[in-house]
Structure 1
Amino acid sequence: MIYSPNFQKWGSADDLKCAEWLFSRKCEVFKELGLQEPKEPNFTEWANDVRLMVSQDGRTHKEICQFYKRVSHDEFWKKNVQCPRTLRTQWDDLTLRLAGEQKVSIDQVERDEAFTRIIGSRSKPQNRIEEIAAELAGKSGVRRMTDFVGRKAWAGIWQQAAEQAAREVMA
C-alpha cells in the first residue's frame, strides 16, 4: 500500500504498479516526440486515481493500461492525456472519439513493391504487415490468379493486413 501523508489518497501495490507503467509509457511518448524526460509524478496521487478507476469505475488494471496505450498512440490525445486523473475524467469522451479510428493509410508504392517481391519473386516478408498479407494471400490463392486479378485482390488483402497489424500494435 502507498499512502499520502494525510492518508486521504492511497493505492494498492497493483495500483502503484499500474501508475508506474502509465508513467513509463508517458516517458516513451516524450522520447518519441524528442522531448526531455518528464518530471516524476506524485505516485501516491497517480495510484489513488488508478484505485478510483478500479473501485468506482469498474475498470481493471489491464484495461487502464491498454486504453492508455491506445490513447498514447493517437497524435492528438497523447499530448493531452498525460496522467491517470485526465484519463479517468475523459474516459467516456475518449472512448467515443477513438471508436472506429482504426483507419490505416496505405502507401500504394510499398503495397505494390511488396506484391512484386512476395508474390512475384517469393521473397520473405520484411515486416508484420507483409507477413499477414502473405499469409492471407496464400489462403486466397493469389499466386494462381492472373497478374491483374492478383494485384486487385492484393490491394484488399494489404488493407486488411495493415488494419490487423495496427490492432496488434494497439493491443
Structure 2
Amino acid sequence: MLNSSDGNRISVSIDEIPESMQHAIVAIEDSRFYEHNGIDPQGIARAVFVAVKNRGKNMEGASTITQQLLKNNVFTNWVHEGSMERFRRKFQEQYLAVKLESSLNAKGLNAKDIILENYLNTVNFGAGAYGIQTAAQTYFGKNCADLSLSESTALAANAFTKYG
C-alpha cells in the first residue's frame, strides 16, 4: 500500500526527540550541520572531486539536512526530474537553504533546532513511516522520546538508505 508523505505522520517537538536520535541523523546525513549556513562548501567540493574522478559515475551527494528538508517539502517532484532539472533544483535548494537559515536566525530563532525538528518530522523511515514518532511506533512500538541509542542509530541508518 502506498502512503502520501503526510498520510502516516505524527509530529513531535525537538524536545521530545532524544539527543541520541538527533546526533545519529546529523552524523549520518550532515556531519557539519552545526557549522554551516545551509550549504556545505566542503561537501560540495568533495562531491565535485568524486564526480570528476569517476567521470560522472558513482557520484556522491553534498546536500545538507536543510537542503534535504527543502527537497522533500518544496521540490516534491524531484524523483521524476532529468539531469538538467536536477542541476537547477540543486542551485535553488542551495539558495533557499541559506535564505531559510539566515531568516530564522535574523528572527532570533534557533535555526538548527527548527530545521532538524522539521526534518525529523518529515523524513521517510520506510514502511510508510514518515517522521520519527511514527517510525519509533512502527519499528519499536514506543514513543520516540523512549528510543535507545541503538534504536536511534538503526532508524537514522534506515532513513539514510531511503534518501542518502
With normalisation by structure 2, the TM-score equals 0.31
> Greater helix share, 1 or 2?
1
With normalisation by structure 1, the TM-score equals 0.30
